[in-house]
Structure 1
């Protein structure tokens, strides 16, 4: 009897690493999680990854499945060969040939791509991007990430750096960004940017129920709850975030004439508070034909998008 084919999908984050067995139909087994630790250096990190994958390989054999390859989504700029050019959140990986090194440890073909591209490809294969030929994924989290699918292929760019919508300038000479620029979309539409906007307005003397919270306790979820309760300051902050995101998406629509934009990430739970302003900015700023074409939808895969997309790169 022929064994069912599967791949190991890995979502590598700055804090945790999550992995699971994935079938070609997009079904996952139990998701295993370990802390992303670099205390023992790069070789120790590889050993942790190999041990995690070993547990999944044991599980696959118990299930009568054959693991054909490993796919990983990792933060940073990743070359086509799977070498980490630069990873701001995990600098220990800078310059490392992560794909080849893990393949040697596991004796399995291994592909490493940018984590936002993995999310994008997961939505393309199994989620909200299935009906789109070309689309952008926007991940609204602590920062703002992006991935591009053009004609049903991931477009990573010449150096693996494409899709960085979070670092489009939306406010010239605006807030400084960790990338070295000022006024990046990430500083206005991310969870961190939303909190920063509230703190700025409170410091300027604007009134809000959020003033009762200590700055350290303030999160974008608290801001969203206040907005849904009618707090004027919180509503204004989400309107600002929506305008910034709409400006960026209008430019992308004019440049690429995409079918859609898939919005994912933890902060996307509050996307409905931004959407009216996003849509208005696109109507005002994009060419009519491109703006009308661009469908904006929420992602469907949640936290599993990166695992599914990374595995999908090697299964399909």
Structure 2
């Protein structure tokens, strides 16, 4: 891979991935390992350092400008501190950026994974060519990142963009954050899975009643809806309604040129697009109604692409 290069690292609760990346967003072979989420910060830092060394060796020891690290949060990208990782043991105010820099001998840029995904889509994916966008990932939870006037929006302590915790129904279901009626509690993949299981337990007729041996998931709802199952179709219509309502608030708050949907639930955007558009047409002020809502383009590599973009930005190397 032609110089300059950076190493992109995507830290997830299940897997840890790393790859060499060029300023065009192209990734080299991706190295991965299972994240030692129960081993504490020192173990995870050692895993990151080992993957970085492996990537460098596989790339014939290229001249690496730095490491871009996308991590779950909440975290402060300015100080490089991860406040806590709910699914990891022993993580409390961990100076992850400095620990990884010390272990690898390279400068490190740390960013929240959803914000990193927004950067990736902006520089290399569905957000190319615009100066303002909102990226929303709809998966286990709902997260997001905002690019505003050509810059990633950070806010106090780098905590901007927690769009999943907008409250849409004050008396709605309890969210993992402790509040009620958050967008995440109403429209995430986890919420959709919970709702379908409740409906099936109440006896709702559906082909999904035949699923045995495991909990029914949001993915099952999408599959059923594509097959014309009435319950699947109805639940995706309700999902589209809540996504549309949330997107209207994002349009009014940030006035983006584009809204990009990523995450597992976004694979059903073709089915939900009419419902989302109907909510925008009904609820958004007129100047906002023409903003397109599009699917993310980078798939599972969006975190790595965003981490690479951040590392190049820190090294003051333009991306293309």
Range class of TM-score, shorter chain = over 0.9
- Is structure 2 residue 293 aligned with structure 1 residue 296? yes
* CA deviation after TM superposition for structure 1 residue 239, in Å: 0.9
Separation in structure 2 between the aligned mates of residue 106 and residue 229 of structure 1, nearest angstrom? 50
Match of 2:17 in 1: 18
Separation in structure 2 between the aligned mates of residue 40 and residue 283 of structure 1, nearest angstrom? 49
Spell out the pairing of 1:272-287 with structure 2 (5 A cutoff). 272-287=270-285
- Checking the alignment, whether the CA contact within 8 Å between 1:188 and 1:240 is kept in structure 2 is no
- Is structure 2 residue 180 aligned with structure 1 residue 176? no
Match of 2:139 in 1: 141
User: How big is each residue's C-alpha offset from its partner over 1:209-237, in whole Å with a ceiling of 9 and x where there is no partner?
Assistant: 11122372412222112112221111111
Separation in structure 2 between the aligned mates of residue 28 and residue 105 of structure 1, nearest angstrom? 23
Spell out the pairing of 1:260-271 with structure 2 (5 A cutoff). 260-271=258-269
Name the stretch that deviates more: 186-195 or 51-60: 186-195
- Is structure 2 residue 309 aligned with structure 1 residue 309? no
Q: Aligned pair in 2 of structure 1 residues 300, 6: CA closer, same or farther (>3 Å)?
A: same
3-state SS of 1:81 partner:
coil
Separation in structure 1 between the aligned mates of residue 39 and residue 234 of structure 2, nearest angstrom? 46
Separation in structure 2 between the aligned mates of residue 42 and residue 265 of structure 1, nearest angstrom? 26
Structure 1: gaps of 5 or more residues: none
- Checking the alignment, whether the CA contact within 8 Å between 2:37 and 2:89 is kept in structure 1 is no
Spell out the pairing of 1:9-158 with structure 2 (5 A cutoff). 9-62=8-61, 65-79=62-76, 80-90=78-88, 92-158=90-156
Matching residue within 237, 250, 253 for 1:252: 250
Match of 2:209 in 1: 211
Q: Point out 4+ residue stretches in structure 1 off by more than 3 angstroms.
A: none
User: How big is each residue's C-alpha offset from its partner over 1:61-115, in whole Å with a ceiling of 9 and x where there is no partner?
Assistant: 35xx311100111001221221112322335332011001110111111011000
3-state SS of 2:98 partner:
helix
* CA deviation after TM superposition for structure 1 residue 56, in Å: 1.0
Q: What TM-score does the superposition give when structure 1 sets the normalisation length?
A: 0.94
Separation in structure 1 between the aligned mates of residue 209 and residue 155 of structure 2, nearest angstrom? 44
- Checking the alignment, whether the CA contact within 8 Å between 1:122 and 1:308 is kept in structure 2 is yes
- Is structure 2 residue 159 aligned with structure 1 residue 161? yes
Q: Aligned pair in 2 of structure 1 residues 215, 174: CA closer, same or farther (>3 Å)?
A: farther
- Checking the alignment, whether the CA contact within 8 Å between 1:60 and 1:66 is kept in structure 2 is no
3-state SS of 1:183 partner:
coil
Separation in structure 1 between the aligned mates of residue 228 and residue 289 of structure 2, nearest angstrom? 30
Q: Aligned pair in 2 of structure 1 residues 202, 41: CA closer, same or farther (>3 Å)?
A: closer
User: How big is each residue's C-alpha offset from its partner over 1:4-41, in whole Å with a ceiling of 9 and x where there is no partner?
Assistant: 11000011101111110000111110011111104443
3-state SS of 1:76 partner:
coil
Question: What RMSD in Å do the two structures reach over aligned CA positions?
Answer: 1.5
- Checking the alignment, whether the CA contact within 8 Å between 1:187 and 1:193 is kept in structure 2 is yes
- Checking the alignment, whether the CA contact within 8 Å between 2:101 and 2:108 is kept in structure 1 is yes
Q: Aligned pair in 2 of structure 1 residues 215, 253: CA closer, same or farther (>3 Å)?
A: farther
* CA deviation after TM superposition for structure 1 residue 270, in Å: 1.3
3-state SS of 1:4 partner:
coil
Structure 2: gaps of 5 or more residues: 314-320
* CA deviation after TM superposition for structure 1 residue 197, in Å: 1.3
- Checking the alignment, whether the CA contact within 8 Å between 2:19 and 2:28 is kept in structure 1 is yes
Separation in structure 2 between the aligned mates of residue 38 and residue 268 of structure 1, nearest angstrom? 27
- Checking the alignment, whether the CA contact within 8 Å between 1:198 and 1:237 is kept in structure 2 is yes
User: How big is each residue's C-alpha offset from its partner over 1:159-217, in whole Å with a ceiling of 9 and x where there is no partner?
Assistant: 22211121112223111111101122222322221111112222333221111223724
